[in-house]
Amino acid sequence: MEHFEAYRYKLFTIAYKMTKRVADAEDIVQDTFIVVGSRPLDTIQDIEGYLVRSVMNRCLTLLEKNKHITYPGIDLPEPLFTEKFQQVQSQDVSYALTVLLQTLNPLERAVFLLKETLEYSYPEVADIVSIKEDHCRQLFHRAKEKLAEGKPRHIPSPASADRLIRAFLQISEQGDLQQLMACLKEDVAIYSDGGGKVTAARNVITGREHCLAFLSGVYDKMGAALTPTVTRINGEPGLIFYNTQSGAIDTVMMLVFDDEAITTIYFMRNPDKLTPAA
C-alpha cells in the first residue's frame, strides 16, 4: 500500500467533505487502499483516477445506507483540530464550505467536488458516478447555484481572521454587548450541534438581536467554567473551549467573516465529534 500513500491526503479530503466524519473518511480511504492494493499494479492504468473513483463510490454507498438515520438537532461536520490535522490547508477542508456542501444531495456533492475541486472533465465525472453527461452538467450548475447563495463575498486573510477572532473573544469576555453587536452582521446565523447529548440549540438562530441574546446567555452561564484557546480548525483560526476544572474539550467554535463582520457561528458541542478517533 506504500504506492498509494502519496494520495492519502487528497483522498481523505474528498471523503471528509462527502461524509463530514473523520472516522468514516479514514475508513473509506483505508478500505480502498486494501482492496486496490490486492490488485497487480500493472493492471491499473491510472492509479490516482482509480483510487478517486473507488473512494467516491464508497462515499456514495455509505451515504445511501445512512440516509434514513435521524440526527437529533443540527448535524454539523466533525471539526479537524487535533494535532494530526494541524497541517491541513483551509482551501482543502474549509469548515464553512464543508457545511455548505451538506446542503447538496450526495450526487450533487460528488459531481461538484470532482468537477470543481479535482478539475475532472464532464465526461470523466459522469463516468465515475455513472450518469449521463447532460445530467452531470445540470447537477454541477445546480450545485454551484446553491453554494453561491451561502458563500461570504469578502473572506478575510488567515491573519485578519485570527485578529478578528481574538477581538471577538476579548469583547465577549468583557461582556460589552454594544461592541459585540457591532461584530455581527444583520443576518448572522448560529448553528449549534450537541448531538442530543449536551445542551445545544436544536434550530438555527438567525438575526443580530437573537444571536446576541444567545451569545450573551452562553457566556453568562458558561463563561467562568470554560477556558478559551485560539487554534487552527480545518486549517483556519478557530476557538476551543476547555472545561476549566477537568481540562476536557467542551466546545469547538468556528466563525465565518464577511469583511470584518461575523456572518455565521458554528458551535460543536457533541462529545462524539470532539473525541479523536482511536
Contact 266, 76 (CB under 8 A): yes
Evaluate whether residue 23 is within a structural domain.
yes
Whether 276 shows a pLDDT value over 70: the answer reads no
Evaluate whether residue 86 is within a structural domain.
no
- Number of domains, the chain: 2
* CA pair distance 13, 163, nearest whole angstrom: 27
Query: What is the pLDDT at residue 152?
Result: 67
Query: What is the pLDDT at residue 1?
Result: 60
The rounded percent of the chain whose pLDDT value lies above 70 is 98
* CA pair distance 83, 268, nearest whole angstrom: 18
> Beta 205-206 vs 184-193: how paired, if at all?
antiparallel
Evaluate whether residue 168 is within a structural domain.
yes
Burial of residue 216, with CB atoms counted within 10 A of its CB: 0-12 exposed, 13-18 middle, 19 or more buried: middle
Per-residue confidence band for 41, with pLDDT thresholds at 50, 70 and 90: confident
Give all strands (DSSP E) within the chain, no chain letters: 184-193, 205-206, 226-233, 236-243, 249-258, 261-268
The domain in which residue 177 lies consists of 158-273
Last residue of a domain, one of 22, 53, 69: 69
* CA pair distance 187, 207, nearest whole angstrom: 5
pLDDT tens digit sequence for 125-159: 999 999 999 999 999 999 999 998 777 677 788 88
Task: Return the sign of the alpha-carbon dihedral for residues 59, 60, 66, 72.
Answer: positive
Evaluate whether residue 194 is within a structural domain.
yes
Q: What predicted TM-score, i.e. pTM, was given to this entire model?
A: 0.92
